[in-house]
Amino acid sequence: MKNFFKRLSLVCVVVMVLSAALTGCAGGKKGDEPSGNVSEPTGEAVRGGEVVVGIQQDIDSLDPHLAVAAGTDEILFNIFEGLVVPDENGNVTPAVAKDYTISEDGLTYTFILRDGIKFSDGTPVTAGDVKYSIERCAGLLDGTPLVKALSIVSHVDIVDQSTINIVLSEANLEIIYYLTAEIIPASSQESGEIIGTGPFKLESYTPQEGITLVRNEYYWQEGLPYLDKVTFKIVASAESAMMELQAGSIHIYPYLTDDQANELAANFNIASNGSSVVQALYINNAVAPYDDVRVRQALAYAIDKDAINDFIFGGRGQLIGTSMLPDYECYVDGLGYEHDTAKAKSLLAEAGYPDGFDMEITVPSNYQIHLDTAQVIVEQLKEAGINASIKSVDWSTWLDEVYKGRDFQTTVCGIAGSLTPSYLLVRYQSTAKNNFVNYYNEEFDALYKKISTSLDSKEVTEGYRTLQTMLAEDAASVYIAVPPVLIAMDKTLGGYRFYPIYVQDMKYVYWTE
Amino acid sequence: MKYIAKKLITLILTLFLISVLVFLIFQVIPGDPVLSILGTEATEEKIESLREELGLNASLPERYFDWLSGVMKGDLGRSYRYKENLNEQMAVSRLVAGKLPVTLTLAGMSLLFIIVLSIPIGILWGGTKHKWLDALLNVLAQFSMSVPSFFLGIIVIYFFGLIMKWFTPGGYVSYKEDFSGYIQYMIFPALTVALPKVAMTARFLRNSIINQLNADYVRTAYSKGAGRTRVLFLHVLKNAMIPVVTFIGVIAAEIAAGSIVVEQVFGLPGIGRLLVSSISTRDYPVVQALMLYIVSAVVIVYFLVDVLYRYIDPRVEE
Amino acid sequence: MAEKRTKVKKNIYFRVGLGITLFFVVLMFVGLIYTPYDPNAMNSSEKFLAPCLSHPMGTDNFGRDIFSRVLKGISMTGLVAVSTVAIGGTIGTIIGALTGFYGGIVDEIVMRINDTLNGFPSILLALVIVSILGPGKYNVILALGILFIPSFARIVRSEYINYKNRDFVKSARLMGAGSLRIIFLHIFPNILPTLLVTITIGFNNAVLAEAGLSYLGIGIQPPDASLGSMLSDAQSYLFSAPWYAVMPGMTIVLFVLGFSLLSEGICSK
């Protein structure tokens, strides 16, 4: 982050050319070392072969710009690429573009297309395709931005056959991370074809069963991918995934529970990594009694995060005290509230609830970890005199009532972070559409507004820190943990890489003899 | 003919009623298909444009009659949830056609198990003179009828899957990929569906046989010197089977409608699971189509049984 | 009367069924007032203990005592079953009695609706109703109660059709008894045996339906114990903790077995 932002902030740097990966901690992720460690097999890498990956949920859309579920993005990552793509350190690295420059005022991004790059059907990628893709995301085609952050793109100009200018209406330090938006052929507007430039191409998709990808013959990176075919198969449950792993009908399963990981450790490669999800007891700040900061603080004191970590994540979760991932440079450690039932009780008494109150926790029933966490919370709150009950609802009801309708008291869920720290903070502006917790703090709003257009990286980082502290002090919600990702893999598979975002990158994966 | 016409009219009326009901019900249930598709990232513009695209902005009667006129032409509409490619939503008929074979295989195999197992057991049970055998079979039957299907499924998974390792629980393979592997896997859920029904059918047959054994014609046959086995197989069975056919028909209708719970336990991608997930994502066109299927399956099977019953039992008249 | 009583004594099903049912009724009340441990209390050092002396049914993934949870689950399931049958039985009997006795166009319409509802798998109907009402104990009771109306109505209706032209009804009418009086005072006692069997079967189905709904995650809400939701949680740990599934599962089987033996016994009485 430091280097990248520093360079931008120096006015004397007129043009910055990036040919390889961005150095430093771009986007705020503490780079340098890969986030997770996977032990590699000893054998030689073999070309070809087929791998079956177990997944939990059906994919929500095959349209890369419309897909929103993390579980879909991690698969589509193999089919589509943007001008730049994220790498395993959380930086961006050129893909469809071979390099790019940013103008002095931070408003114009100039991309040079990679020579000879082709879509998976063999047609070359043109400047027109890039223009179409970016305009589609930015809402310049029909006024509907598909990627919200790109709505600050004012126009896209084709300079020549391989040069594109993307012009912004306001400067934004983080926009480059959203230019990972997938490039699709302009012809797909008519044909609807699902084609990208990624290492694999779509072979077939069967709703509720799975999706099969085969190797893209025209992939630009020499020698990649290793595999001929990758199948993402939807498994019925975590338990059946385990049995399938043992029977060899799936080779990789990335969503193990702690108990399962321990059970499989002898025969499989097990690796763990942070999940980039902020799990919290999100509180509706606008309804009584939660509109009283003392009540929210009391909840925070009453909840024992260590116990939750123990019960649900086998101690592998990273505990947090604010809406930020510890992987980010700007993360403020040590925020939040230590478990202290007595303090919780006295705060409740102060707020006028010496005997506690009834509380409802709405939980999306398709997420077992949140449901389990809520059960532990109910027990912990009992000690502080709060009588909590769980209302489990299906995902679409949750979206409708809680996320959109804001008709709830509290909810346990996770919000997935992205490559930029702002993503986890922007939603706490009082005017934000996705401020479903109804957080309201004028200082927060003012500061966020100030730093969002700032080009001074130091100011931005400091601002992010202050914002996190505000959220913690106001106990906007009770931030619990970043749940771990536990993955089991066949011992003869190599090349699996962890990313700081949800991605199953299969292009480096190979079998050994 | 008159009978058939009357039944057909009832069928159509029932289907119409159900379709109106389903349409209305989904107006009351919280949850929005558009939000369900767009998730937490939805912007107002995105929601509005998708709503327009899916035709959700039209009024309720308008949407209903659009759907109805589509069905008349054999078009079940398009799924809200699933897309064929970037531009087109997946046709409901294609989606359902992909899942129906699984449910029908399950139903067919379970029906096969039921017939093959329950008839010999029922005959043995009804024909036996041994009190202890009668009691043993009765206890077994009572027991298997008391096991809820999901628990039975769990037991089958534990015993045949984990202990005996005869199949990989959850390791369903599509019939398109490996047909024999598919059939092998389907044996176990089919057994789960069949077992309680075997008990019911066998018991029903037993009672029916015992009823017949007390009839006058049996006494006549005995008095003419016919042996027990001969009486049982030549005289009694034919008459005793008639009510059993109806009974099996009712069961067939029930399993053709799909077993939501058993599909869930075994992770089968059949219409039961499609229905549950379509309800939770508010994919109404799919729900509508599946409801139509379920109701027609039930009514049509009943109808066939009725016709069959008329055919084999000459006493029933129009 | 005396003869009937000896017959009942001989009826082994009736006695075993009654025994099991009474046993469960006792457990139901015990579960309401006493459990060896707090059924919701968690303990991270006692996760997945196999059945032993201090935990006769073992512990679950939160270190909760399964025996205590099964006891609570029986109370919960029993409560749901009783309320469900009460709702479905009362409304169903009234509808069945009126339509059966009076007949006519209302009867025709009500029976068509009944037939339509019958065409659905019951779990599906419950699913739809709970989707409208939202999950939770009381909504499950309401949903299942509504679900049970048709079966009661159908059986009671056919009984009333059977009885309404009997001589004793005719003579009651001649003696000036009003319709409602005939329905409830003259005919009703005669259908009691049939109703009793229907109620027993109703309990049986209610227990299965509640467990089924909770298994699908739309019944009793966690952390409250329910036999069905315990089974659905247990399925994920079948390999490492088979007892977690077996204990609530066998409890349901016994519970249901008691009712079905009882109804069998009443029938052959």
> Highest mean pLDDT: which of A298-302, A391-395, B71-75, C46-50?
A298-302
**DSSP letters for A326-375:** TTBTT--TT-S----HHHHHHHHHHTT-TT--EEEEEEETT-HHHHHHHH
Q: How many angstroms separate the CA atoms of C161 and C169, rounded?
A: 12
- In which band, very low, low, confident or very high, does the pLDDT at B255 lie, cut at 50, 70 and 90? confident
Query: Does residue A412 carry a pLDDT above 90?
Result: yes
Least confident of A45-49, A395-399, A469-473, C116-120: C116-120
Q: Do A247 and B280 touch (CB under 8 A)?
A: no
pLDDT value for B298:
78
Q: Which residue among C62, C135, C235 sits closest to A392, beta carbon to beta carbon?
A: C135
CATH 3.90.76.10 occupies which residues in chain A? 80-196
Across the interface, of C127, C238, C256, the residue whose CB is closest to B154 is C238
Q: Could you tell me if residue B261 is inside a domain?
A: yes
Q: Report the half-sphere exposure of B268 (CA within 13 A, side-chain side).
A: 32
Residue B102 lies in a domain: yes
* CB within 8 Å: A146 and B99: no
Test B86 with A243 for CB contact under 8 angstroms.
Answer: no
Asked if A62 and B86 come within 8 Å (Cβ–Cβ), the reply is yes
3-state helix, strand, coil split of chain C in percent (to 5) is 80, 0, 20
Q: Are residues B111 and B87 in the same domain?
A: no
3-class SS of residue A283: strand
Q: From the list A237, A379, A392, which residue is nearest C236 (CB)?
A: A237
Measure the CA–CA gap between B288 and B293, rounded to whole angstroms. 9
B190 and B265 belong to one structural domain: yes
Same domain, yes or no: B104 and B8: no
pLDDT score for B40? 67
Query: Per this entry, what is the length of chain C?
Result: 269
Which residue type is seen at B162?
Answer: L
Lowest-pLDDT range of A126-140, A329-343, A369-383, C104-118: C104-118
Say if residue B33 is in the same domain as residue B49. Answer: yes
Surface-to-core class of residue A323, CB atoms within 10 Å of its CB (0-12 exposed, 13-18 middle, 19+ buried): buried
CA dist A210 and A327 (Å) reads 32
Model pLDDT, residue A36: 52
Mean pLDDT on A487-511: 85
Strand A493-494 versus strand A269-274 pairing type: unpaired
For the cut 60, the answer to whether the pLDDT of residue C128 exceeds it is: yes
For residues B206 and B238, membership in a common domain is answered with: yes
User: In this structure, are B113 and B184 located in the same domain?
Assistant: yes
The amino acid that residue A289 corresponds to is: P
**Subunits adjacent to chain B (3 or more Cβ pairs under 8 Å):** A, C
Phi–psi pair at B307, nearest 5 degrees: -65, -45
In a domain, B23, yes or no: yes
Tally of residues, chain A: 513
Using the predicted structure, report yes or no on whether residue B312 has a pLDDT greater than 60.
Answer: yes
Contact at 8 Å (CB) between A182 and A64?
Answer: yes
Asked if A470 and A232 count as a contact pair (C-beta separation under 8 A), the reply is no
Of A238, A311, A392, the CB nearest to C236: A238
Supply the mean pLDDT for chain A.
82
For helices C122-133 and B271-280, the axis angle rounded to 10 degrees is 10
Mutate to test the interface with A, among C37, C38, C42 (most CBs of A within 10 A): C42
A-to-C residue pairs, Cβ atoms closer than 8 angstroms: 57
Q: What percent of chain A has pLDDT over 70?
A: 92
Q: What is the CATH number of the domain that holds B148?
A: 1.10.3720.10
Cis peptide before A124 (omega within 30 of 0): no
Which chain C residues are Cβ-neighbours of B295 within 8 angstroms? 116, 119-120
Given this model, what pLDDT does residue A264 score?
82
- How many CB atoms within 10 Å of residue A203? 13
Of the ranges A159-173, A280-294, B207-221, C225-239, which is most confident? A280-294
Residue with tokens 């592997």: B181
Considering only CA atoms, which of A173, A180, A181 is closest in space to residue A464? A173
Q: Is the pLDDT of residue B121 over 50?
A: yes
Q: A39-76+198-273+489-513 architecture in CATH? A: 3-Layer(aba) Sandwich (3.40)
Closest CA to A376 of A323, A324, A304: A304
Between residues B163 and B118, the one the model is more confident about: B118
Neighbours of chain A (3+ CB pairs under 8 A): B, C
pLDDT-based confidence at residue C269 (cuts at 50, 70, 90): low
Count of domains observed in chain B: 2
CA atoms within 13 A on the CB side of C218: 27
A chain contacts of residue C237, beta-carbon cutoff 8 Å:
239, 259
| Helix-then-strand count for chain B, H and E | 14, 2
From A311's Cα to the closest Cα of chain C, the distance in A is 6
Nearest to B210 by CA among B117, B138, B136, B125: B125
* Angle, CA B230 vertex, CA B227 and CA B231 arms, to 5°: 85
Task: Give mean pLDDT, residues C120-139.
Answer: 77
Query: Which residues does chain B have within 8 Å of residue A146's beta carbon, measured at their own beta carbons?
Result: 46
Instruction: Say if residues B245 and B204 touch (Cβ distance below 8 Å).
Output: no
Place A22 in a pLDDT band, splitting at 50, 70 and 90.
very low
Q: Which residue has the tokens 């000879």?
A: A116
- Taking a C-beta distance cutoff of 8 angstroms, is the pair A511, A228 a contact? no
Do B307 and B269 lie in one domain? The reply is yes
Using a CB-CB distance cutoff of 8 angstroms, which residues of chain A are in contact with residue B36? 395-396, 399
Q: Do C236 and A310 touch (CB under 8 A)?
A: no
CB contact under 8 A, A396 and B282: yes
Using a CB-CB cut-off of 8 Å, the residues of chain C touching B157 are 238
Give the dihedral sign, CA A183/A184/A189/A194: negative
- Whether domain A80-196 has CATH 3.90.76.10: the reply is yes
The contacts of residue A180 (CB under 8 Å, 6+ apart) are: A82, A83, A84, A85, A86, A92, A419
Closest CA to A3 of A16, A22, A17, A21: A22
Q: Are residues B176 and B305 in the same domain?
A: yes
- Taking the C-alpha atoms of residue A477 and residue A322, their distance in angstroms, rounded to an integer, is 8
Give the 3-state secondary structure of residue B80: strand
State yes or no: pLDDT of B122 exceeds 60. Answer: yes
What architecture is the A277-482 domain classified under in CATH? Roll (3.10)
A370 to chain C: closest CA residue: C222
Query: Up-side HSE of residue A464: CA atoms within 13 Å toward CB?
Result: 27
The verdict on B102 and B115 lying in the same domain is yes
Q: Answer whether residue B292 is part of any domain.
A: no
pLDDT of the residue at B244: 86
pLDDT at B112 over 90: yes
Average pLDDT of span B243-261: 81
Q: 3-state DSSP call for residue C224?
A: coil
Q: Are residues B62 and B153 in the same domain?
A: no
Higher pLDDT residue, A433 or A409? Answer: A409
CB B238: neighbour CB atoms within 10 A?
Answer: 11
Whose tokens are 């930020």? That residue is: A324
Decide if B147 and C119 are in contact by the 8 Å CB cutoff.
Answer: no
% of residues, chain A, pLDDT over 90? 14
Which of A484-493, B77-86, C231-240 has the highest mean predicted lDDT (pLDDT)? Answer: A484-493
pLDDT surpassing 80 at residue C131: no
Supply the pLDDT for residue C9: 44
How far is the C-alpha of A166 from the C-alpha of A125, rounded, in Å? Answer: 17
Residue C229 has a pLDDT of 86
- The answer to whether residue B293 sits within a structural domain is no
* Contact: B171, A249; criterion CB under 8 Å: yes
Q: Residue B155: list chain C partners with CB under 8 A.
A: 249
C12 at interface of A, judged by CB pairs closer than 8 A: no
Residues of chain B contacting A69 with CB distance shorter than 8 Å: 39
CATH 3.40.190.10 residue spans of chain A: 39-76+198-273+489-513
Q: Which of C140, C128, C262, C164 is nearest to C213 (CA)?
A: C140
Q: Is A191 helix (H, G, I), strand (E, B) or coil?
A: helix
Domain, as residue range, for B150: 98-284+298-312
Residue A366, pLDDT score: 76
Task: State how far residue A394 is from chain B, nearest Cα, in angstroms.
Answer: 6
Q: CA-based angle B80:B82:B83, to the nearest 5?
A: 105
Task: Identify which of A210-214, C12-16, C170-174 has the greatest average pLDDT.
Answer: A210-214
B110 and B67 in a single domain? The answer is no
pLDDT at A374 over 90: yes
Residue-wise pLDDT for C189-221, tens only, equals 888 888 888 888 888 888 888 888 888 777 888
Nearest CA in chain A to C133: A393
Query: What is the three-class DSSP state of A431?
Result: coil
Q: Which amino acid makes up residue A92?
A: V
Instruction: Mark residue B225 as left, alpha or beta (left: phi above 0; alpha: psi -120 to 50; beta: remaining).
Output: left
Is a pLDDT exceeding 90 seen at residue B116? yes
Residue B318 lies in a domain: no
Residue A35: the pLDDT is 43
The answer as to whether B291 is a domain residue is no
Contact flag A239-C236 (C-beta cutoff 8 Å)? yes
Q: Provide CB contacts within 8 A for B69, sequence distance 6+.
A: none
Domain limit, last residue, from B55, B76, B94? B94
ipTM over the 0.90 cut-off: no
Q: What does DSSP say about strands A50-55 and A229-234: parallel, antiparallel, or unpaired?
A: parallel
Both structure tokens of A218: 């025209």
Distance between C240 CA and the closest CA of chain B, angstroms:
11
Residue B244 φ/ψ, nearest 5 degrees: -65, -35
Of A311, A368, A378, the CB nearest to C223: A378
Chain B interface test: which of C15, C115, C124 (most B C-beta within 10 Å) = C124
Can you tell me the mean pLDDT for B49-78? Answer: 81
Domains delineated in chain C: 6-33+61-267 (1.10.3720.10)
How many percent of chain C have pLDDT more than 90? 13
Here the tokens at position C248 are: 């609530």
Lowest mean pLDDT among A209-223, A319-333, B247-261: B247-261
CB A508 within 8 A of CB A47: no
- Span A257-280, average pLDDT: 83
Show which of B61, B94, B127 is a domain's final residue.
B94
> CA-based angle B1:B75:B106, to the nearest 5?
75
Give CA separation, B128 vs A258, B115, B182, B219, B222, in Å: 55, 20, 39, 17, 16
Closest Cβ–Cβ partner in C41, C48, C236 for A379: C41
Mean pLDDT of the B205-225 span:
81
Residue C119 pLDDT class (50, 70, 90 cuts):
low
Chain B interface, best mutation among A178, A209, A365, A399, by max B CB count within 10 A: A399
Of A242, A310, A390, the CB nearest to C222: A390
- List the beta bridge partners of residue A252: A53, A489
Residue B254 identity (one-letter amino acid): E
Interface size A-B, in CB pairs within 8 Å, comes to 128
- Residue C154 in this model has a pLDDT that exceeds 50: yes
In the listed set B94, B122, B149, which residue is the last one of a domain according to the structure?
A: B94
Same domain as B54, residue B69? yes
Q: Is the pLDDT of residue B104 over 70?
A: yes
